[in-house]
Amino acid sequence: MRTCMTVRHGAERRTLMMTGAKLVLMRHGQSLGNEANLFTGWNDLDLSANGHEEARRAGRLMRHHGFLFDAAHSSMLKRTIHTLHHCLDELDQSWLPEYRSWRLNERHYGALQGLNKDDTIARYGREQVQQWRRSFDVTPPAVKPDSPHHPGNDPRYASIPRCDLPCAESLAMTMKRVLPYWQDMLLPALRQGQSLLVITHGTVMRALIGHLDGLSPEETQTLEIPTGTPLVYEIDKAGAVHRIGYLLPPT
């Protein structure tokens, strides 16, 4: 399928013709946790009213640029699932096979989950909170095994060995969890020529972009990921990855 699209590559606006398999990565629309400035993590909060519209708008944008996908992937949290369904409705591709995985879940923020970020700064100090949020290998305080925030106590993860489920994660730990899904599920399909839509979360986007773009840990941890904005890659049959850029609305 040939697709002509307008993208942002760095600060430059480009119109490009693509002929290979497409990978579109997208952070979910704004969530209620984003709106309330919370550490959300694996808490299953829905989209805000603005987030629902961001998701619909992203779907309309992809349809305008002629995207046709072979499969769709999301995390097991409703803010990505609902974003995906809005996109597929707008694309008129609701029939696509959908795959959901805990490996695409947001970073687990441990005992910080559900806390307001400003309140947490007031309690622990800005420097400490910034280390928990954006350092590559600093892990926030762990959630206790009997806590309702521990994924081992959530029935949706009952089939996953408890020892594999996180009680808190750094960005480095999130990357270690996410990359097997890239290697085992996404890359093989892309090398076969399938185009994929992946709706996930901000930290997972950092992990995937850092890997795909060959970024250093320092570069990866500083990435800013907008909500509801499709990021496009092209993958050839040899598995070579080419970053195209964020999809832009027509002018």
Quote the percentage of the chain above a pLDDT of 70.
92
Determine how β-strand 71-74 pairs with β-strand 196-200.
parallel
Handedness of CA 150, 153, 158, 162 (dihedral sign): positive
**pLDDT tens, 45-81?**
999 999 999 999 999 999 999 999 999 999 999 999 9
Annotated binding site for substrate: 27-34, 40-41, 79, 106-109, 117, 133-134
What pTM was estimated for this model as a whole? 0.92
Burial 188-212 (b: 16+ CB within 10 A, else e): ebbeeebbbbbbbbbbbbbbbbbbb
Residue pair 104/73 in contact (Cβ under 8 Å)? The answer is yes
Active-site residues: which are they? Answer: 28, 106
Averaged confidence pLDDT in the chain: 93
Whole-number pLDDT of residue 1: 46
Q: Going from the N-terminus, what domains does the chain have, and what CATH number goes with each?
A: 29-226 (3.40.50.1240)
Q: Quickly state the pLDDT bin for 19 (edges 50, 70, 90).
A: low
Binding-site residues, in ranges, read: 27-34, 40-41, 79, 106-109, 117, 133-134
